[in-house]
Amino acid sequence: MAMRLGGRSIPRVAVTAVAMVLVAEAGVWLLRPRPAPIPAAPVSAGDYFTQQQIDRGRDYSDGQLWLYGAALVVEGTVLTSLALGRPRWARRALRRVEPRKVVGPLVAGGALSLTLAVTGLPVAIASHERAVDFGLSTQDLGSWLGDVAKSALVGAVLAGVGGGILFALVRRFRTRWWIPGAVAVVAIGAVTSWLAPVVIAPLFNKFTPLPAGSQTRSEVLALARRAGVDVGGVYRVDASRRVTALNAYVDGIGSSKRVVLYDNLINDSDRAELRSVVAHELGHVKHDDILRGLAFVALIAPLGIVFVLQLADPLLRRAGIAPGSPAALPAYALGLFLASFVLGTVGNQLSRRVEASADTFALELTHDPRAFIQLQRQLTISNVGDPSPPGVLQFLLGTHPSADQRIGAAVDFKSLSPKPSAG
């Protein structure tokens, strides 16, 4: 079916795609942190990084960008081929599980996830080897492949569960499955946010609560008290056995909420820089940014799933596949792949605003722009990042403000508040 506008036929999927993007943009506006973060003063990357550091970061980023594009092409090609019922052996394999109404979707979801992991492996290996060459990864290939296998198995289990839920909804609600489907997406996101820190993350790393009385824990809790934030747990993760990068993050909701610090960060940063990064993470807790992300998902999920449905329907008709058959899964997965890419690009606008707001919170809490600037230098150099990426790439793919923008915000804050506090 199609809509007619001005004498020209426009597929419903195109109209839905436009509406999906508009709703996502509205969600970015509605959920953006207020008040606005500190504006970034114009700065030159050359004032804070050597030319060698800038060139190295750009070289690494450019290569990884090409590999990211290659990974998208591979995944899109595989999903499109399977959605069209090719190759025939794959279609026959999916049809064999069709009679098993309960197990079939679980098997199909897991098999599809593993297929994507295997076909994407060459690009992933190339990406890992570049990370090793640039000194970012400390893992040898064997250890890294072990992690990939573990991740693939976890992904297969989750995809199998997702496939089971999808086809239960399709069979129960038929063309209206997108309504409970949107609710299911938000529910799954909330459950995953709650369980991931205590179930999935420990499969890959060792998380150790910072001991009572330790200097780092005391400083984190002191900052939290000043900020009026309940941080939940404070953990150290053994990131150094995989990467040389410095990082910290907030994870979990409710009883699983925690602040996680890389051991690299604890070992390689001075106390002022550590306070700065902790203050940034406390900003995420203070602003309920994980719940903000779930709210964004709730806004975009309905039209996103309608897009998936409308894209899948003609593919299934062309391939002669029933919507409730496990063989239909690649068509739905292709729609989800495209919707996730488009909506993720829009969502990056919200992510950058959220990160900039957390930066502002950190500067106001620590009142130490010098430490904040030094932290951004450390993060960029250790992560082999481009301090000033091209504007188009930053707009499409950037989840954080660029290093020069974050430094610029600290410079602006410094000009307004030139007297840092002692502690």
Under 8 Å between Cβ of 78 and 119: yes
* pLDDT at 12 (0 to 100): 82
Instruction: Specify the pTM.
Output: 0.89
* pLDDT at 232 (0 to 100): 79
* pLDDT at 86 (0 to 100): 77
Rounded Cα distance between 98 and 108, Å, is: 9
Q: What would the pLDDT profile of 339-370 be if each residue is shown by its tens digit?
A: 999 999 999 999 999 999 999 999 999 999 99
Contacts of 349 (CB under 8 A, 6+ apart): 25, 28, 395
Mean pLDDT of the chain: 89
Instruction: Report whether pLDDT(214) > 60.
Output: yes
Q: Which CB contacts under 8 angstroms, 24+ apart, belong to 20-25? A: 20/300, 20/303, 20/304, 20/306, 20/307, 20/339, 20/342, 20/343, 21/342, 21/343, 21/346, 23/299, 23/300, 23/303, 24/296, 24/299, 24/300, 24/343, 24/346, 24/347, 25/346, 25/349
Q: What would the pLDDT profile of 78-124 be if each residue is shown by its tens digit?
A: 999 988 877 777 667 666 666 556 687 888 899 999 999 999 999 99
* pLDDT at 96 (0 to 100): 67
* pLDDT at 233 (0 to 100): 82
Instruction: Report whether pLDDT(13) > 60.
Output: yes
Query: Between vectors from CA 344 to CA 91 and to CA 166, what angle results, nearest 5°?
Result: 40
Question: What does the block give as tokens for 202?
Answer: 């420990």
Instruction: Report whether pLDDT(4) > 80.
Output: no
Rounded Cα distance between 147 and 141, Å, is: 10
Q: Is the dihedral of CA 281, 63, 203, 254 positive or negative?
A: positive
Mean pLDDT of 156-179: 89
C-alpha 156: how far from chain center:
18
Rounded Cα distance between 398 and 345, Å, is: 9
Rounded Cα distance between 117 and 94, Å, is: 18
Rounded Cα distance between 223 and 275, Å, is: 8
Q: What would the pLDDT profile of 171-197 be if each residue is shown by its tens digit?
A: 888 888 889 999 999 999 999 888 888
Mean pLDDT of 219-233: 87
Position 421 confidence tier, pLDDT thresholds 50, 70, 90: very low
Rounded Cα distance between 181 and 306, Å, is: 10
Position 7 confidence tier, pLDDT thresholds 50, 70, 90: very low
| Number of H-type helices and E-type strands within the chain | 15, 6
Mean pLDDT of 156-160: 93
Under 8 Å between Cβ of 83 and 319: yes
3-state class of 247 per DSSP?
coil
| Alpha helices by DSSP H, 174-214 | 178-195
- Residue 231: CB atoms within 10 A of its CB come to 20
* pLDDT at 97 (0 to 100): 65
- Identify residue 316 by its one-letter amino acid code: L
Percent of the chain with pLDDT over 70: 93
Which helix (H) or strand (E) segment holds residue 331: the answer is helix 329-366
Which of 340, 328, 330, 339 lies closest to 79 in space, CA to CA? 330
Mean pLDDT of 382-398: 94
Strand order in the sheet with 207-209: 207-209, 233-237, 258-262, 248-251
- Residue 270: CB atoms within 10 A of its CB come to 12
3-state class of 249 per DSSP?
strand
Rounded Cα distance between 183 and 136, Å, is: 39
* pLDDT at 219 (0 to 100): 87
* pLDDT at 314 (0 to 100): 86
Rounded Cα distance between 279 and 368, Å, is: 11
Rounded Cα distance between 95 and 31, Å, is: 43
Instruction: Report whether pLDDT(11) > 80.
Output: no
Q: What would the pLDDT profile of 261-311 be if each residue is shown by its tens digit?
A: 999 888 888 889 989 999 999 999 999 999 999 999 999 999 999 999 989
* pLDDT at 271 (0 to 100): 87
* pLDDT at 2 (0 to 100): 39
* pLDDT at 258 (0 to 100): 85
Rounded Cα distance between 231 and 210, Å, is: 13
